[in-house]
Structure 1
């Protein structure tokens, strides 16, 4: 997988887009040595979305087979919500909220 620093990405955007488009491979952009973003082709995006949709459908089918969704109280759900929020905060993905 091709990798560019943020500085390189700013200067070579067209090259990165073409590389992702024509190789159908992700192009990684790093910020201070850590992965920050990826450029992917429309075909690869469609593939990832189809995989996610299939996984979601499988989950729905499992829930249906188990008799439908089970409801929990807000009190019972709070520890899970706290855990999810901590994971999002730790990953940095929730910073734009």
Structure 2
């Protein structure tokens, strides 16, 4: 991963974008040595966001399975419909 100061990014933003896009490696924007933001290829960001969503879905499924396993008594269908306001 490369780094670029914010001051440098003001004049060389196109280079930072090209580097991130072509090398698929984020360019960190820094100020006083601290990372503040990153320039990242749009396709890479889409894949990261999709992976994060998939991971969250897997966690939700696992939690639902654990909740179901902890509750050995099934909930009657009429009670489910009533809870959802479907009656």
The structure whose Rg is larger is: 2
Give the C-alpha shift of residue 12 in structure 1. Answer: 0.5
Looking at structure 2, the residues matched to 51 and 58 of structure 1 have their Cα atoms a distance apart, in angstroms, of: 10
1:3 aligns with 2:26: no
TM-score normalised by the chain length of structure 2: 0.72
Runs of 4+ in 1 over 4 A off after TM superposition: none
TM-score normalized by structure 1? Answer: 0.66
Partner residue, 1:31: 31
1:68-83 matches, within 5 Å, as: none
Asked if structure 2 preserves the Cα contact closer than 8 Å seen for 1:24 and 1:43, the reply is no
**1:57-89 deviation per Cα after TM superposition (whole angstroms, max 9, x unaligned):** 111101110226xxxxxxxxxxxxxxxxxxxxx
Structure 1 position 54, deviation (Å): 1.4
Are 1:6 and 1:30, in contact at CA under 8 Å, matched by a contact in 2?
A: yes
- Where in structure 2 are there 5+ consecutive unaligned residues? 69-87
Deviation at residue 40 of structure 1 after TM alignment: 0.3
In the alignment, is residue 12 of structure 1 matched against residue 16 of structure 2? no
Whole-angstrom CA distance in 2 between matches of 1:46 and 1:38: 15
